[in-house]
Amino acid sequence: MRSDNIKKGLERAPHRSLLKAVGLIDEEMDLPFIGVVNSWNEIVPGHIHLNKLAEAVKAGIRTAGGVPFEFNTIGICDGIAMGHTGMKNSLPSRELIADSIELMVEAHQFDGMVMIPTCDKIVPGHLMAAGRLDIPAIVVTGGPMLPGIVGDEPCDLISLFEAVGASQSKKITEQDLKNLEDLSCCGAGSCAGLFTANTMACVTEALGMSLPGCGTAHAVDAKKTRIAKHSGMKIMELVEKGMTPSEIVTQESLDNAIRVDMAIGGSSNTALHLPAIASEIGLRISLSRFDEISRETPHLINLRPGGSRYLIDFERAGGVPAIQQRLREKLDLDVKTVTGKSLRENLEEYTIINPHANREIIATLESPVHAEGGIAVLTGSLAPLGSVIKQTAVSQKMMRFSGPARVFDSEEIAMKAIMANKIKSGDCIIIRYEGPKGGPGMREMLSPTAAIAGMGLIDSVALITDGRFSGGTRGPCIGHVSPEAAEGGPIALVKEGDLIEIDIPGRLLNLKVSDKELDKRRKTWSPKVQEVTKGYLVRYRKQVSSADKGAIFS
């Protein structure tokens, strides 16, 4: 056992004394030591219940003959960080989370890990650490929040973000806005639609790193507690077998996870996170791979923000295993999972508990919601290295679009123009210098996209950025434009009024300006990166790579 390095032999008497200081007894020194990696805190709704899940995990570990040691990682709420300078810290926290887990686990020589993350950057940060450390590991994601109810209608955080724009344009009253504020977010869990947090939970399960059913089991459901206990027991089995993440997260399981992501219409942020996770295992996913799989994978369930259903509907329909059943012929069924069994064996054991909901909520391959999957990768003269859009959340009338550029060098400047009613139907908003280096930190742009939606412009205005979008964004919103403006990408050369062409079916994103004119502009161009002079973001800017590579450290 790895943990023998800190507890066995004469020379480890001081170490054992320190372990006894935290309450260990001699009988526990012969047992495996398991790290319980918890992102619990008191400010993020998705995390406020994770202390209880940790107790269940530890009970499972003890039941199966292990010794659990809980420690914490940081966790940022993207909703609270949204729309101001705080969002610069969200994506960079992913690398810091992975680093902190690595340091704790290596220093204390744990034999295995149960990881308990929720929310957008925390789940990928934990998975990156699991791949890097490559010791037995299992993930228990914290689960979705239930939808709120306002006026007998379900709602979620995105309802409120869009209500800000609706209120500004007098489409709803102040009391309507207050009702949504009070009731949209009704308690523990990650926001109730298929935004980035819940997408990553489903992707983690599809990768084989969580027990079946974990991704959609809700935060307030006792099912989640039972999964946590079983995960604590299962890690002991993985330690005994010596089964590590590199045996589970393979090129084949990554393709499986992308395919499930495309079928459920998940967040575009997976195009950042899955390449980063793969990189830690020593594998590579190109941006084009997302598009290849999306073209041959139908969209099978219409969840928020693109559709009207919530994660609770997906859970009723059978969750990730139900989608995998639909996709059987397109998946590699021989991949290993943390159950200790193959995906094929897991699906053979799966039973549909609610067959009516399963048929009603999840479409078939023969009659899908959309013929293609959730993400499209666009390239062209504005994005030579690629850009990403959640195509299943775009109305048909905006699948092809051209319009004059309205250019803004930060999110704040763009938001002021939107709220001042300076954006008109037919405009194409460009928000630049918000990429990994330019921001720095590649901020999400939910506030401007939701305001546009709330004002009723989502079917007539496009938005393009070298930053990124929340999983809750809908409409013709294209992010991850690479190269970014800070590195001199074509998006840096766009001028007010330039014609922008978007062709989602054709996978094109073009700036309709001649090469001669762009060469002329480049000679007088100088970057307008947002200034940071101290702290973590200075180091982040120096190390981070471009969005098409997953914004990993180079």
Would you please indicate which residues are annotated as catalytic (active-site) residues? 470
Is the preceding peptide bond at 124 cis, omega within 30 degrees of 0?
no
Query: Pairing relation of β-strands 33-38 and 67-72?
Result: parallel
The radius of gyration computed from the CA coordinates of the chain, to the nearest angstrom, equals 23
**For residues 549 and 91, is the Cβ–Cβ distance under 8 A?**
no
How many Å apart are CA 171 and CA 162, to the nearest integer?
11
**For residues 551 and 442, is the Cβ–Cβ distance under 8 A?**
yes
- Provide the edge-to-edge strand list for the sheet that holds 33-38: 67-72, 33-38, 112-116, 137-139
165 token code pair: 């724009």
DSSP string, 307-358: SSB-HHHHHHTTHHHHHHHHTGGGS-TT-B-TTSSBHHHHHHH---S-HHHH
Give the angle subtended at the CA of 314 by the CAs of 308 and 318, to the nearest 5°: 155
> In 3-state terms, what secondary structure has residue 394?
coil
How many Å apart are CA 553 and CA 94, to the nearest integer?
11
38 token code pair: 């918890």
Query: Pairing relation of β-strands 383-390 and 375-380?
Result: antiparallel
How far is residue 542 from each of residues 85, 92, 545, measured CA to CA in Å?
Answer: 19, 12, 9
How many Å apart are CA 178 and CA 487, to the nearest integer?
42
**For residues 404 and 428, is the Cβ–Cβ distance under 8 A?**
yes
- End-to-end, the C-alpha distance of the chain in Å comes to 33
> What count of residues does the chain have?
554
484 token code pair: 């970014």
Number of neighbouring beta carbons within 10 Å of residue 514: 9
- Residue whose tokens read 């690595």: 102
How many Å apart are CA 32 and CA 135, to the nearest integer?
12
- Residue whose tokens read 């939808």: 147
* Residue among 149, 238, 204, 156 at smallest CA distance from 319: 204
- Residue whose tokens read 């294209």: 478
How many Å apart are CA 448 and CA 442, to the nearest integer?
15
Output DSSP code: residue 250. -
199 token code pair: 């997408």
How many Å apart are CA 540 and CA 513, to the nearest integer?
33
H or E stretch at 197: helix 196-207
In terms of C-beta density within 10 A (0-12 exposed, 13-18 middle, 19 or more buried), how is residue 554 classed?
exposed
Query: Pairing relation of β-strands 137-139 and 148-150?
Result: unpaired
